[in-house]
Amino acid sequence: MKEESEKSVNSGKRLIVLGFITIGVLFLLYSRYQDSELLTPSAIDSIQRIAYGFYITLVVSFGAIAFGMYRYHKGKVESKGKDLSTIIALTTWNSKARKIFVVTFIGYGIFFSLVSGTLVYQPEVNFAIHYGATIPSGFVAPCCDGPGYMPKIIFYLTEHVGLQIIPINLVLQIIVSYLVGLNASIAINAYTISKKGRGMSTIGAATGLFIACPTCAGTFLSIFIGTASGIALSIALAQMQTLFIAISIPVLLVTPYVMAKKLRNADGSCKIDPTK
């Protein structure tokens, strides 16, 4: 049983690393096709096919990462070790934690879509009139923008609602939504245990709110400052929000280990029953 769990953990790690390396290489390779001078009529069809291949590879990479996370998580639960990674796995394996994770992952993903401009609502613009778009319709725009911002997928859902899928935003959305969901599912259990032992401080709870919503700070700033100060500040705040998200990722990675210490007994075992 121990050998099987170790095998599951190791194979999960390999799949996760392979998936992220593939995504990194994919972004690097596609950036070579973003020179507008290379976009000749004869090259458009080839770049369009490469753009389709980009998203197919991206989806496969995320599939490998997701399956790797499952294998790693399951292996840690079966190993019943006493390290912090196992405590995290045990804490998030029960049905309550899973429900919290799914709800948070979906809810934050929708919120991220609105904040990042993936989900577009423009009541003052009619896509059919202004852009000549067919409603509903969609296409892949293969060129030209900075690394990570191409190829884009554009969907016109209604005359005023659309989707603009940008690769870097999609990757950030999935990663941050996963980490926020993971932190939320652990935090609920950690809060319950800490409340019983009066171990959670007000500062810790407030910090947790910002950690659980790394795009909130930029959004609130854009509401109170951007509206009053015009387009220039809105652009600056959008860049600042990206910075908030970038900073939040290592914080979101470290926080589960900090909370896991609250959920470990003196003998190293987990305080949470993973079967409940």
How do residues 184-238 score in pLDDT, each as one tens digit? Answer: 888 877 776 666 544 444 333 334 444 445 444 444 444 444 333 433 444 444 4
Q: How far apart are the first and last CA of the chain?
A: 22
Question: Residues 40, 48: contact at Cβ < 8 Å?
Answer: no
Q: Taking the model in full, what pTM does it have?
A: 0.79
What is the spatial distance between Cα 112 and Cα 173, in angstroms, rounded to a whole number?
6
Question: Residues 244, 115: contact at Cβ < 8 Å?
Answer: no
Write down the pLDDT at residue 238: 47
Write down the pLDDT at residue 53: 92
pLDDT per residue over 47-102, tens digit each?
Answer: 888 899 999 999 999 999 999 999 999 888 888 777 888 888 888 888 888 888 99
| Mean pLDDT confidence for 41-47 | 77
> Mean pLDDT score of the chain, rounded to an integer?
76
Place of tokens 């599951």: 8
Query: Residue 162 pLDDT more than 60?
Result: yes
Percent of the chain at pLDDT > 70 equals: 72
Q: Residue type for 80, please? A: K
β-pair partners for 164: 154
Write down the pLDDT at residue 14: 94
Question: Residues 257, 88: contact at Cβ < 8 Å?
Answer: yes
